[in-house]
Amino acid sequence: MSVLNPTTFLEFTQRLLSECGIPGSGHSALSGATGQSQMLFQWVAQAYSEIQTKHPDWKFMLVKAGVSFATVAGQVEYTPTQAGIALGTVGDWRVNTFRRYLTASGQSAEVRMTYKDYDTWRDGYYIGSLRTTQVDPIVFTVAPDKNLMLQCPLVGYTITGEYYRSPEVFDADGDVSILPTELNLAIVYQAMMYYAQYESAPEIFERGESGYNKLMKRFEKKWLPTIRGAGSLA
């Protein structure tokens, strides 16, 4: 049975089945699905992942005010978990949003921090005695493992900022899409193209491509920043 406004993994797969004109009702659950039914689930999951990563700065992937943590005097490096974020949920830090204030003085003393790429920061701020010289931290970087690295803090500061979440995955029937409602059908259209390529079905591919492009053209302006910076970290 076709689902008019799918929101869950299973509903997207049922809608894909209908749009592709595949006979039968398909498999009723991911568990135990084999053959073509299993591939339909896989195509939906792939489409969901690819749409989330189509643009690194989708506004619906941004977690505002998601970062707020206290530094420890003398500690330079902080994992996402130490920054108060669940393990594995950080896609990219939005580095131009980072600020810091002396915790004891309160947020009225907040100032913007300056981001440097990792190599520049390491060579200019994490060398020799600078590794352990405690200062008022203004300059920071993101290490290759996505840890935050600050100038060695003198006392306790509060660091705030934003980040883009890492893509979510569909792996259970009831998993709900985090896409804006108006973009949800893009999952089905993208999956239709995967199915059509596999089955050599050009008419289905054209319908999927047309539906996908129309949705993206209509809603990319809404869900992307008006002024886009250099890369997802801006």
pLDDT of residue 42: 95
Q: Hey, where are the domains in the chain?
A: 9-53+168-223, 60-165
Confidence (pLDDT) at 54: 95
CA nearest to 166, candidates 103, 71, 234, 85: 85
Q: How far apart are CA 145 and CA 233, in angstroms?
A: 15
Which segment of 86-90, 176-180, 204-208 scores lowest on mean pLDDT? 86-90
121 pLDDT band (50/70/90 cuts)?
Answer: very high
What is residue 45's predicted lDDT score, i.e. its pLDDT? Answer: 97
Is the per-residue pLDDT at 61 higher than 50? yes
pTM, entire model: 0.83
* Sheet containing strand 139-142, strands side by side: 77-78, 148-150, 139-142, 114-115
